[in-house]
């Protein structure tokens, strides 16, 4: 958490003033640490009817030695609430949300979690069921906006028959890994998730490639993937080689200096991964901005951004996702942007490329060959993240960017990296075709 505003409202005078004026007060978010519990405090688990996912969640929490409660006792605080509403059939069923969540939200600790589990509206069998299922999204997003002190609310939509696949998603949303993920919808579908031997090293033995790894979000992705056990092949342009080497050596990875737009980039990356036994995880993170209002946009700004941020991914994927490329059961994660969802003044080229990335996820996640090989394809869309790039944004714009979200602060590169690492887990094999915003429920692109 950084920023002049945050510093002020957390000072002695600022705190008092903020209380009187009802100003948002950003808190230090709970973030993942290998030795910290999955979630602090007991977890309230409730559900409608047979609540099939809740049963899995209770088992998951028992395995982590976390107390599960059915109701909030007077004067107690809880770390999270998981509400299984997969069984909603008509709008009348939704009242359970009010009954359960109203007291639970009041008892929620700082950086607490609200997770609502639902079923996919598109597979509803009646109009009423579709309406009720879709209503959960509005509930989750609104609850997210009401929560205080770093608490988040997210919705998990589980496909029929995939109830057992939601574990990794619930685990992620409960943990500090999802600190800056708020107001999101995660869809869990078919797939064959496999639990890691050690949840502290869920990527043990995997080989990952991260483009744009020299600094910023890319370096954080490389670090988190390595922390989770993967050998990381770090890729960046030759001119960034010095910081790329620093990233690679810090995490015991390998550096490959190549421009992602080079014709042989895919092959050179694959060769480097092959040295370590093969390729399991591909993170397309490399990207550039060349901002200008459309009226003043020249050809080179347009084409360079589109080529680096989108064209290069398509070209490299021919090799990386080809027959001798990524192994079966692998994971592809792309970095989109909130600008690709909401658009951004002066960023038509960038927004085009980042929206294009989402189109790429939509298509690849249902591509027959990849589905047969059990390869998942997902994207993250970062909001305001504190990086060298955003540090150059003018002061006022930067402060506004930090505050226009439910957590009243900018995210950190590690927050983006955690979501990517979660997409990369074999335990999460049921999650494909998702675009998860890491934006603290930003008002943009909501």
Residue ranges binding other proteins (CB under 8 A): 231, 234, 238-242, 244-246, 248-258, 262, 271, 274-277
204 touches 196 (CB < 8 A): yes
Handedness of CA 321, 325, 328, 330 (dihedral sign): negative
Largest CA distance in the chain: 64
Residue whose CB is less far from other proteins, 242 or 368: 242
Write out the H or E segment, with its range, that includes residue 254: strand 254-257
Nearest distance, CB of residue 57 and other proteins, angstroms: 39
Phi, psi of 220 (to 5 degrees): -65, -40
In degrees to the nearest 10, what's the CA dihedral of 214, 4, 346, 311? 20
Nearest distance, CB of residue 302 and other proteins, angstroms: 24
Residue whose CB is less far from other proteins, 222 or 357: 222
Nearest distance, CB of residue 212 and other proteins, angstroms: 16
From the list 5, 32, 180, 350, the catalytic residue is 350
Nearest distance, CB of residue 392 and other proteins, angstroms: 18
Show the 3-state SS of 35-55: CCCCCCCCEEEEECCCCHHHH
CA distance 423 to 90: 32
Nearest distance, CB of residue 247 and other proteins, angstroms: 8
Residue among 290, 235, 299, 241 at smallest CA distance from 264: 235
Order of all β-strands in the sheet with 207-211: 254-257, 231-236, 207-211, 281-284, 331-335, 376-382, 435-438
CA distance 158 to 401: 33
User: CA 296 → CA 194, 361, 392, distances in Å?
Assistant: 51, 30, 22
Residue whose CB is less far from other proteins, 99 or 239: 239
| Contacts for 271 with CB less than 8 Å, ≥ 6 apart | none
Residue whose CB is less far from other proteins, 68 or 274: 274
Residue whose CB is less far from other proteins, 129 or 211: 211
Is 32 marked active-site?
no
Nearest distance, CB of residue 252 and other proteins, angstroms: 4
Phi-psi region of 426 (alpha: psi -120 to 50; beta: other; left: phi over 0): alpha
Residue whose CB is less far from other proteins, 59 or 275: 275
Catalytic residues: 350
């Amino acid at each position: 958490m950084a920023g002049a505003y945050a510093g002020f409202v957390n000072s002695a005078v600022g705190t008092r003033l903020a209380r009187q004026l009802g100003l948002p007060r950003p808190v230090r978010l709970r973030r993942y640490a290998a030795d910290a519990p999955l979630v602090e405090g007991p977890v309230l688990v409730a559900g409608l009817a047979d609540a099939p996912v809740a049963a899995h969640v209770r088992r998951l929490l028992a395995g982590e030695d976390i107390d599960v409660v059915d109701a909030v006792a007077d004067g107690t605080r809880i770390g999270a609430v998981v509400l299984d509403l997969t069984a909603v059939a008509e709008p009348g069923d939704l009242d359970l949300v009010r009954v359960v969540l109203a007291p639970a939200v009041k008892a929620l600790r700082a950086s607490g979690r609200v997770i609502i589990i639902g079923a996919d509206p598109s597979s509803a069998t009646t109009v009423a069921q579709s309406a009720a299922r879709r209503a959960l999204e509005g509930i989750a997003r609104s609850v997210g906006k009401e929560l205080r002190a770093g608490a988040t609310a997210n919705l998990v939509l589980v496909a029929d028959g995939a109830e057992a696949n939601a574990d990794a998603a619930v685990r992620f949303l409960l943990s500090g890994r999802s600190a800056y993920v708020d107001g999101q919808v995660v869809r869990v579908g078919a797939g064959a998730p496999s639990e890691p031997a050690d949840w502290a090293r869920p990527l043990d033995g995997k080989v990952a490639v991260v483009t744009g790894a020299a600094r910023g979000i890319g370096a954080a992705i490389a670090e988190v993937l390595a922390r989770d056990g993967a050998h990381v092949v770090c890729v960046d342009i030759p001119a960034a080689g010095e910081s790329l080497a620093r990233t690679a050596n810090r995490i015991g990875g390998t550096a490959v200096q190549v421009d992602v737009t080079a014709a042989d980039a895919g092959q050179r990356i694959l060769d480097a991964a092959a040295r370590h036994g093969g390729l399991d995880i591909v993170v397309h993170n490399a990207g550039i901005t060349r901002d200008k209002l459309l009226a003043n946009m020249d050809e080179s700004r347009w084409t360079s951004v589109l080529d680096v941020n989108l064209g290069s991914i398509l070209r490299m994927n021919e090799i990386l996702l080809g027959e001798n490329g990524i192994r079966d059961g692998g994971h592809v994660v792309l970095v989109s942007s909130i600008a690709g969802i909401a658009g951004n003044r002066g960023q038509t080229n960038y927004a085009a490329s980042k929206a294009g990335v989402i189109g790429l996820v939509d298509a690849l996640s249902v591509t027959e060959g990849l589905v047969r090989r059990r390869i998942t394809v997902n994207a993250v869309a970062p909001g305001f993240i504190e990086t060298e790039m955003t540090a150059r944004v003018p002061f006022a714009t930067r402060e506004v960017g930090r505050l226009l979200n439910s957590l009243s602060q900018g995210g950190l590169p590690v927050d983006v990296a955690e979501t990517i690492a979660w997409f990369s887990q074999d335990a999460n094999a049921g999650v494909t075709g998702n675009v998860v915003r890491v934006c603290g429920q930003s008002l943009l692109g909501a």
